[in-house]
């Protein structure tokens, strides 16, 4: 999934990271569809923003668990029965970008790469990062919007040079005929 960026009234970014699939059990728990690399990554954040249409609700996660290594379930504070839990079905889950942990050198959140301009060593703009693909071996940048057509560039040191988050540019070793 391509991360969608929303904003809070103060202008800070919210990053969509999943959705509420529906209620589970009778004690207010919900099933979560997570768009994170690890199923339980959303549990690193105590405050979630639930969004549906023009509605946006800030909610505290009381507790959560991974069931059978394949399903994330959470209980929101104040949500104590199935009827309350069912009301959250279909809401998108967003996390404040400011709550993300700092990355190590050479590590990037996908959401920070989306929209960056990609320029090859010859100074030719190939387009902008539209999304990323996870292939198992390595991530792949999906580049669109340039006059040279869509490009798929492996996000590995051999092809990717400087990533400048401030300038929003990525320098790559990638020819027009690749």
pLDDT tens for residues 122-170?
Answer: 999 999 999 999 888 899 999 998 788 899 999 999 999 999 999 999 9
Sheet holding 117-120, edge to edge: 151-154, 139-145, 125-134, 117-120, 169-172, 160-164
**Average pLDDT in the chain:** 92
Read off the DSSP letter of residue 174.
-
**pLDDT one-digit tens code per residue, 83-132:** 999 999 999 999 999 899 999 988 899 999 999 999 999 999 999 999 99
With a CB cutoff of 8 Å and minimum separation 6, the contacts of 8 are 14, 49, 96
Report the distance separating Cα 36 and Cα 7, nearest Å.
20
Instruction: For residue 55, list its beta bridge partners.
Output: 52
Domains and CATH numbers, the chain: 5-99 (2.40.30.60), 110-172 (2.30.30.240)
Degrees to nearest 5, angle at CA 120 with 154 and 147: 95
Count other C-beta atoms under 10 Å from residue 12's C-beta: 11
Q: At which residue do the structure tokens 């798929």 appear?
A: 152
Give the closest residue to 169 by CA, choosing from 104, 100, 135, 121.
121
User: According to the model, what pLDDT value does residue 134 have?
Assistant: 87
Q: Give alpha helix (H) positions in the chain.
A: 82-86, 110-113
User: According to the model, what pLDDT value does residue 4 have?
Assistant: 53
């Amino acid at each position: 999934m391509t991360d969608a960026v929303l904003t809070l009234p103060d202008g800070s970014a919210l990053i969509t990271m999943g959705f509420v699939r529906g209620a589970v059990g009778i004690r207010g728990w919900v099933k979560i569809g997570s768009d994170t690399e690890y199923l339980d990554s959303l549990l690193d954040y105590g405050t979630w923003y639930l969004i549906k249409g023009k509605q946006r609700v800030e909610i505290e996660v009381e507790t959560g668990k991974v069931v059978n290594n394949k399903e994330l379930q959470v209980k929101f504070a104040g949500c104590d029965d199935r009827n309350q839990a069912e009301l959250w079905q279909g809401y998108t889950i967003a996390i404040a970008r400011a709550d993300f942990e700092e990355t190590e050198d050479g590590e990037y959140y996908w959401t920070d790469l989306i929209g960056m301009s990609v320029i090859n060593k010859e100074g030719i703009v190939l387009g902008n990062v539209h999304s990323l693909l996870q292939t198992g071996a390595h991530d792949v940048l999906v580049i669109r919007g340039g006059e040279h057509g869509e490009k798929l560039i492996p996000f590995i040191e051999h092809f990717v040079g400087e990533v400048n988050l401030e300038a929003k540019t990525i320098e790559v070793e990638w020819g027009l005929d690749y």
